[in-house]
Chains A and B, each alone.
Chain A
Amino acid sequence: ETGVTQSPTHLIKTRGQQVTLRCSSQSGHNTVSWYQQALGQGPQFIFQYYREEENGRGNFPPRFSGLQFPNYSSELNVNALELDDSALYLCASSDRVEQYFGPGTRLTVT
């Protein structure tokens, strides 16, 4: 296990709703990244936070937003959910060398 935890494990939401996903980083890691993995595809980079500031963003609209807290835990917020947002959302915390992924949150939008 990597020491990175995510909650909840599974979530079902309705189109148009808002969702918050949470991630606890591995101890001592000050950088967290979020990825979206659609079924049967590779993960896509959403954004990264370093010391509570967004520090890089992928090709995702502004309704995807995040926060990083002083203890380096993190949230991913998605507003106005769309059916295509259904995916596994992965959080990864990193030291200077590599990224450690959590088990993911499976989001289903109906």
Chain B
Amino acid sequence: GDSVTQMEGPVTLSEEAFLTINCTYTATGYPSLFWYVQYPGEGLQLLLKATKADDKGSNKGFEATYRKETTSFHLEKGSVQVSDSAVYFCALRPNKAAGNKLTFGGGTRVLVKP
């Protein structure tokens, strides 16, 4: 079945450091890929998405490129802020016929220190 694997945290960084969170997936066909962020005590917020190979999603300084050859969708940010401290989830949606079912990775907690 479909699955998403992301690096375990916590990831602890200093402000203005470079952030990378690795995400790889297993799926048949051509899934859409997402990154969600969850701040303490809150639900999930969509951070960015990519719907086909080689697409780059970007938002709030975060970027991720859909790499079909390596089945990866790594999240990057060049200069993190304390406010980026949160849990980040990589997810896939198999295809439109599968409706809106999302398969999530286990999440990566990021802590940015001033």
Q: Is the interface of A mostly helix, strand, loop or mixed?
A: strand
A73 close to chain B: CB less than 8 A? no
Residues of B within 8 A of A92 (CB): 44, 100
Interface residues of A in 54-84 (CB under 8 A from B): 55-56, 58
Residues of A within 8 A of B36 (CB): 101
Taken together as a complex, chains A and B put the C-alpha atoms of A100 and B105 apart, in Å, by 18
Given A41-B107, A42-B105, A42-B107: A104 touches B43 (CB 8 Å cut-off): yes
Residue in A2, A43, A55, A102 whose beta carbon sits within 8 Å of that of B102 in the complex:
A43
Count how many chain B residues have C-beta atoms less than 8 Å from C-beta atoms of the other chain. 21
Q: Across the interface, do B49 and A43 meet the contact criterion of CB distance under 8 Å?
A: no
Cβ proximity bits B77-114 to A, threshold 8 Å, 1 near / 0 not: 00000000000010100000011111111110000000
Cβ proximity bits A1-43 to B, threshold 8 Å, 1 near / 0 not: 0101000000000000000000000000001010100001111
Taken together as a complex, chains A and B put the C-alpha atoms of A45 and B44 apart, in Å, by 14
Q: Which residues of B contact A (CB under 8 A)?
A: 4, 36, 41-46, 49, 89, 91, 98-107
Q: Which residues of A contact B (CB under 8 A)?
A: 2, 4, 31, 33, 35, 40-45, 48, 50, 55-56, 58, 90, 92, 94, 98-104
Cβ-closest 10 pairs across A and B: A42-B104, A101-B43, A101-B44, A103-B43, A56-B99, A45-B101, A94-B100, A42-B106, A43-B104, A104-B43
